A and B are shown apart, each in its own frame.
Chain A
């Protein structure tokens, strides 16, 4: 009996209130090209969700709309009940798909810059994570490899106490060994009850960190299901399913 009550409480906590992300009929066109077509999604609070699809399927476009970077779309979009914009940026931590900090910046400058900019940024935590990843805070971004730059950016994004973390391809440029470090950083650093949306075209060995996954194909959602449900009902991994769905 207690268990039932406890589970109900957990459900309530996880998704009983406003969804973290909600889109209805979201369509985005770039000139004649349709990047997102009628996307209707609801992501509850407290989940880690994978956004998957081949290159050009609309992942980054969707992310840019959710983070308030891109406007001029059709349909409705809400992040924690609000239209993306200045007020949602204070609760959304965004890791862009390319370096958004000056290449001339030293890591410690970037940390100072973030702590000036974001009230929820934990400077001590950021420096600890940088030390744990054995990255020299005195070095400039231009002196690091692409993978190390990505790790530093991830540290910056995860050192905010945000409600929603939107991570665009955080594992695209790192080698398989570093991938584990990145995933571990995400799993250990995200705040409990906050939501993580992570886009990736690499699925193998990554799917186990997600509650659920979204497959985007040519701007349309072709699947949105829990990872364990995919395994249970289709008797295959998300990786196998992805290869089947996106077979050329």
Chain B
């Protein structure tokens, strides 16, 4: 995993885990890797991973079983909310980028409609 310089590493790790939850790579109720293992895989300080996990627990996306370890939430509702949030943010980022490139709302709508008609960005 590549880390951007401008953002704390724990936030980037949280983002990656959220992405995996949304995409289904990490399933509801799945066991989460131990802190030290993930720290080793990513080559980061274990406390950075610990911080990411604590924050994800605070957000209700992970929970800890005292004896057996850490798991992804089993709440389908929570995952759905995360999914919606991610999608809304993706679209907001896209719209923001287009606006910064000088496009008007109608032009953006038109381009999105055109793109969908052509089957998305697949034929780029």
Binding site for B on A (CB under 8 A): 3, 7, 48, 180, 183-184, 187-188, 208-211, 227-228, 231-232, 235-237, 239-240
Contacts and interface: CB of A to CB of B under 8 A. Distances in A.
The binding surface of chain A is classed by DSSP as helix
A16 to B, nearest CB: 15
A208 B5 contact: no
Contacts of A239: 5
A-B pairs, 9 with minimum CB distance: A237-B5, A228-B8, A208-B44, A231-B8, A235-B6, A232-B8, A209-B45, A211-B45, A240-B5
Given A3-B58, A184-B40, A208-B43, A231 B5 contact: yes
Interface in B1-39: 3, 5-10, 36, 39
B54 interface: yes
Contacts of A210: 45
29 contacts: A3-B57, A48-B45, A180-B43, A184-B40, A187-B43, A187-B45, A208-B3, A208-B9, A208-B43, A208-B45, A208-B48, A209-B43, A209-B44, A210-B45, A211-B47, A228-B8, A228-B9, A231-B5, A231-B6, A231-B8, A231-B9, A232-B7, A232-B8, A235-B6, A235-B7, A236-B5, A236-B6, A237-B6, A239-B5
A130 B54 CA distance: 36
Contacts of A184: 40, 43
Contacts of B43: 180, 183-184, 187, 208-209
A187 B41 CA distance: 10
Interface string B83-107: 0000000000000000000000000
Interface of B: 3, 5-10, 36, 39-40, 42-48, 51, 54, 57-58
Contacts of B9: 208, 227-228, 231
A17 B48 CA distance: 22
A239 B5 CA distance: 8
A113 B51 CA distance: 40
Contacts of A3: 54, 57-58
Contacts of B51: 228
Given A180-B43, A231-B5, A240-B5, 18 more contacts: A3-B54, A183-B43, A184-B40, A187-B40, A187-B43, A187-B46, A188-B40, A208-B3, A208-B48, A211-B47, A227-B9, A228-B9, A228-B10, A228-B51, A231-B6, A232-B7, A237-B5, A237-B6
Contacts of B57: 3
A88 to B, nearest CB: 25
A210 B45 CA distance: 6
A209 B43 CA distance: 6
Nearest to B12: A231
Contacts of B47: 211
Contacts of B39: 187
Contacts of A231: 5-9
Contacts of B36: 188
A231 to B, nearest CB: 5
A3 B53 CA distance: 12
Contacts of B42: 208
A112 B58 CA distance: 49
